[in-house]
Amino acid sequence: MKCPVCKKYNTTEKFEINSYKILDCAACGHRFTGLKLNKEDIKEIYSDNYFFEGKDGYPDYTLEKDMLTGRGEKYAEIASRFMDPGTLLDVGAAAGFLMKGFENKGWKVVGVEPNSSMAGYGKENLGLDITVGTIEEARLDITVDLVLLIQVVAHLYDLDGSMDSINRILKKRGYLLVETWDKDSFMARLLGRRWHEYSPPSTLNYFSRETIDLLMGRHGFEKISSGRPGKKLHSRHAKSLLRHKLESSKSFKWLAGFEKILPENKYIPYPSEDLFWVLYRKTGRS
């Protein structure tokens, strides 16, 4: 199987999850599923169930509204160290909560999202411009100063196609902000195959700080800055994820006590040692 990051054929099987093979590239260290999906599969995976029925997705995505809007504002502050507010595209925008945070800080915001209910929610309730589709297929006739890939790059089914679209849409010397999970983090290594991010077919690629740089470098981006977001999780989302883990694995029974001590309707801090962000800039070489 060809590695989607370095393009070499040197993979070994690491483990299997929900009968999907998880592969390691011996050449660059990237981990991925090798699943070939199309846009019909994507509609199925990101149906309303993903946003409202728990399991590997969300019990109710709209609970994340205030937290995500706040995070958008935080990222807008980070971006303001490098650029003035301009136009941005949020890839996998869901209901547009993150976009709203940037809008609050003076950005003109556009989104693309495969789930039509989520896009509709953002349009109707927040007045946002969100196109229904995937970045791989949507024909977006815009140019922007910044593209957001916030917890999205691991879900993209065609990395090169997506990056080509992003390069078309981004202005010369434009910026790309990526937030993703680190498969080489302490938490990921501690939990092994039980790490929450291993949830194919929703997630397809499992990056490290090195492999995300490799992918972006190959598409003409250089790293400008990086850090870790302070993450908060709604307690109902935390309970739902815990319940899903308890159902799917006997060795997680020890977690049962945690569900009882979690508050009912609050945001709780989530240790985000396994989550990081990187700001890239187009070098002009591609």
Q: Is 23 in the site for Zn ion (CB under 5 A)?
A: no
**Shortest distance, position 32 Cβ to Zn ion, whole Å:** 9
Q: Which of 1, 17, 20, 27 binds Zn ion (CB under 5 A)?
A: 27
Neighbouring residues of 25: CB distance < 8 A, sequence distance ≥ 6: 3, 5, 6, 8, 10, 11, 31, 32
What minimum distance in Å lies between the beta carbon of 215 and Zn ion?
9
> Which DSSP string corresponds to 52-100?
HS-TTS-S-GGGGHHHHHHHHHHHHHHHTTT--S-EEEEET-TTSHHHH
The answer to whether 281 contacts Zn ion (rule: CB under 5 A) is no
Helices and strands of the chain, counted as H and E runs: 10, 13
Q: Which H or E run includes 23?
A: strand 20-25
Residue 6 touches Zn ion, criterion: CB under 5 A: yes
Q: Minimum CB separation from Zn ion for residue 29, in Å?
A: 7
| 28 forms part of the interface with Zn ion (CB under 5 A) | yes
3 state SS of 224: strand
Region of 26-34, 109-117, 139-147, 233-241 interacting with Zn ion (CB under 5 A): 26-34
When asked if residue 212 is in the footprint of Zn ion (CB under 5 A), the reply is: no
30 to 89, contacts with Zn ion by CB under 5 A? 30
**CB 213 to Zn ion: min, Å:** 13
**Minimum distance from residue 62 beta carbon to Zn ion (Å):** 38
Residue (of 17, 19, 20, 18) closest to 1 by Cα position: 20
**Which among 5-13, 37-45, 48-56, 64-72 is the span making contact with Zn ion, rule CB under 5 A?**
5-13
Residues that bind Zn ion (CB under 5 A): 3, 5-6, 25, 27-28, 30
